[in-house]
Structure 1
């Protein structure tokens, strides 16, 4: 019998801290991008590649990490990932050449491949099916605080120095690593780990990737990709867009992102579970995609600080609700293979995070409005796919 979430507050807090620190690291670079561009004389394209390097390393490692999570346990992967992440942030802080920054982002991506699916699988293991949407909402809130408040925190800490945010992240990651070592208890028994290891003896990355194309998973994974692509393309150029078009300072950018994040987190924590109960995962996903398309286009038509703040609040909210809806759906289909599902989820997220920032940077150099418009097109394609998904679901229901 699994304990209610309210009886596992300490474990849940540690797990949420782990996922938060990873996405904090992803977002920290955003507000200092203009400063790094000026100091190192880098182009928007190079900065896009720098963000994408993190996701590329995560992509390569995620399938293998998913297998290790199922075979060797969630706790080990979390601890190893946090230690690597701490080292990566320290390297970024002391780096003075762009090649060192790339090395740091690669190590960060590897650590994320361990931590993100391990935490998701851990939470799925300790929660009942009834409480899982709420738990996934908490995870998404932690991701939002890290990925969206990350730039905000980075902007404020950058007042102490452009490299200060990375030293902060390195120290925080080391603290959560030590806390996880002493507080977390592996949710799977040795027997369960052994059974999973035997089950996966005849599988490999190629077979796992083929399995992700199963009708039960593939549409959801495509939407995972679309979400990651749209959000990363939008956020990667947000600070550059605000700096070049409106002359916003890092503090202005940090304020907008921080307020948006707080708004999104409050809605996720207190309303996500109720929204899933009322609308269901699929309908909620479609509503969020529609909002994303409209708001991404609207972002190119506004100029006042208040308008930018409002648009940013609601587009981030749409992304924040879309993520846990997808994760909840996938975790319900995973059964005993939470590591596989979480690993593939991470893989498709990484694909989006690679292509999004890279194309966003290239398009920014051509026209500063193009990244937002392109993100809108990608989100619209995702919406069309969900409509097709709905038709197939209905057709299968009629066949019964």
Structure 2
């Protein structure tokens, strides 16, 4: 991994991957849903949409054509803590990809006439979530778990906030947040660092340094208990979730191993118990998210309304079991092998390497090579799993939310 800082605060990262003829390139802005206010929730996501409506030199169609005609791809997303724009191209087209990405990030038109149309697109996106209960249950659970904290804000925003969003607010957000101190630009693949830095600098040297977005405050009042949300659905969608430590915590490795044992595949405890032994569901899995100031671990399961209580009790039983016992030597050795294999296989993708490369910078942590990550996994002990499971997987600490018919 190579790293260069421009004088205006722009951070440039690259990782050369031998044997590939392509590159994944991304620009990250330290601005996401958690940096917004309740009044302008959804602004970061709507701004991400708006930059694709055209720039000073490209129309929306020209943006779409710019890389697709070369066999490449262009995409973007907004998260709780950042916004990202990425491209994947052949190595010979890295300069073209950087030109397009820089144009999007630095010179969007942000016209009011485009906002009127794109607002409708986002409202359709919100409506789609409303019609997709296995997405909606996570939205509602996150809002209620975090209990007023910014991590509970919807990334898409609300119907009311999006309908009321003004073009002037998006232009202000762009000028305040899309600045040097907030930019991380990375590439992974067949890329030469010095050439990449020169190319990035040719676009980014004139960017104002600006002020870096403040770190989100630590949560202090996450909720636990049981909440029922009445909705006419064929299944009851259930999410268990609890606050967990941030990305920087050394307990992250133990939590990942525990999550994998519980619900990380067909051989996991929840899959075998709730689906194979009891036949109470088709889909059940664990999940975890690690942010800069906190994290979240949990379980999702969908079952018919008549069996919701039995399914919930089965999940609680497995959570109690692991909270009381942790992992045995045999279970720990097996899951370490599984997770290490998954990590190594995932890193064969330039896209995965790109996201991993940027992740350390976005969380203000030193880069860890593959050997460092594998060593961190190997260092987890049975005592660690017992301590961490008791703290974060005790069902009494979780908020269980059920979305379905009363």
TM range (shorter): under 0.3
**TM value normalised by structure 1:** 0.27
Judging by fraction of residues, say which structure has more strand: 2
Q: Considering fraction of residues, name the structure with more helix.
A: 1
Larger radius of gyration: 2
